[in-house]
Structures are given as structure tokens and as C-alpha cells.
Amino acid sequence: MSLQRQIIDELGVRPVIDVDEEIRNRVDFLKHYVKNNGSSGLLIAISGGLDSAVAAGLCKQATDELTQEEGKEYKTLGVFQPYGQQSDIEDSYAVAQAFELDFKTETNIEEAVDEIALEVEYSLKGLGIHKHVSIPGKGNIKARTRMVVQYALAFELNLIVVGTDHASEALTGFFTKYGDGAVDINPLSTLNKRQISQLAEKLGVPRSVIDKVPTAGLWEGQTDEQELGVTYEENNSYLEGKTIDPASAEKLEQHYLRTRHKRNKIPGI
């Protein structure tokens, strides 16, 4: 079996999807998890990007259906988490408006992130290392701080924290293990980026969000494709079993092999 085939099987990606069927299955998946865990609904951080927008649409449909079926209120809480001034924050609010989210809140993480970074720098200084936290390092602090806030809100409101990780990210390891990647449930896990766009069209995600350049928002000007050195078009095609440029395929496989630990559970003995 080729490594490509092995990766596709491991991540569970199908080459062609029925969009209506995928939406139905993922909404039912969310509903089942909420009911089985006795929670009051779902929490989704809405970044203004495609993945969180689709996840928000699935969450809202799931909690709306549960409310109607169970005769009591289930909520989807949309959380906006800028670091200082977020240039595309209007896209986050546009997603909430498109899906008519009744519950939403904004938690600015700037002060918390800066304090954590400062404490790290003090600790480094105590070790005789005089340096500022690196740009990627601070990006990871942002991701992890966002998760701390999400889980604090979820605890107080009895909500399930929903993630946005998907197969195209899993392939490259482009998530922060047990920081940005630690959530309660991942409704997009077996979809690639192209398939998520297909769900976005059906769900009614705003066009400004569907068309924007993918970015994790870790620092100013950062984009996923620039960071990884391979396009999502190539990533998607690889996961659909298609033949792509050998150099790009090799790069994707190197990302996959180098980041295998991120997809594994924490090792024990």
C-alpha cells in the first residue's frame, strides 16, 4: 500500500461526497454527543475563517433541532477571540448573523497573551537566556490562551467545546497539539478543505468568508499555504487520491511523517 493510500485511509477522507448527506451525518453526530453527555449545547470559536464558519452552521442546526425535539433550550455559543484589533472581525460577526446565533460573546485575549509571554521571558532570563518569545512561540500562546477561555466559558455554561480540525490540517500537522487542537469534538475531521468549502456553500456561509485566504491568524500576514509551502489545491487532490506534482506530494508526506506525534494520544507506559 502506498503512503498516500495509507494516509487517506487513516484520515478517513472520501474522494467524492454527497453534501446533504455529510451535513445530515455531522449534525446528527453533534446532537448525539450533546444528548449523551447531558450538556446544554455547543461552544464554537468563530475566527472569521471558513472552517469555524462551517462548524458554526452545523452546531446551530444541531442545537435548533434538539431544542425543537426535546422541548427545552439547547444553545450554540459563538465566541469571538481577537488579539487586540482583528482586521477581519466583521467576518466573525457576519457568520453569527448568517446563522442567527442568539448567543455570542467577544473575549479579547491580548492582555492575557502578553502577560504569559512576559512571564516566559522572565523565566528564560532566570536561565541566563536573554531573548523575547519568538513569533511562532507567541502564536502558539495565542492559540492556547483562546482554548483556556473557551473551556472556562464551557464549564460555566455546561457546553461542549467544538473544534475545527479537518483532514487537510491533520495531513500537515498544522494545529497545536493539546492547545489549539484539544477540543471535545471534531465534526469536520474526515473532510478536506475543498469539501468544507462545498458544505459552506450549502449552509450559506457568507461569500467573504468562503473566498478569503486561509490563515490561522498567528501573526500579521501569516497564511497557511505560505507556512506549509504547498497549496490547499494540492493538499485536497492528494487526499482525494489524485496524482499531484511529485515535489508537492513529497512535501506533504514529509509534513505528515514529521508531525505524526500530533495525531497520536499522549503516550503512556
From the list 22, 91, 165, 169, the catalytic residue is 169
From the list 51, 180, 224, 234, the catalytic residue is 51
DSSP 3-state of 104:
strand
> How far apart, in whole angstroms, are the C-alpha atoms of residue 265 and residue 8?
19
Burial of residue 238, with CB atoms counted within 10 A of its CB: 0-12 exposed, 13-18 middle, 19 or more buried: buried
> How far apart, in whole angstroms, are the C-alpha atoms of residue 244 and residue 236?
10
What is the helix (H) or strand (E) element at residue 151, kind and residue range?
helix 135-157
Residue 69 a catalytic site member:
no
Find all residues with CB under 8 Å of 78, minimum gap 6, and list them. 44, 45, 46, 56, 92, 95, 96, 101, 103, 104, 105
Residue 169 a catalytic site member:
yes
Q: Which residues are catalytic?
A: 51, 169
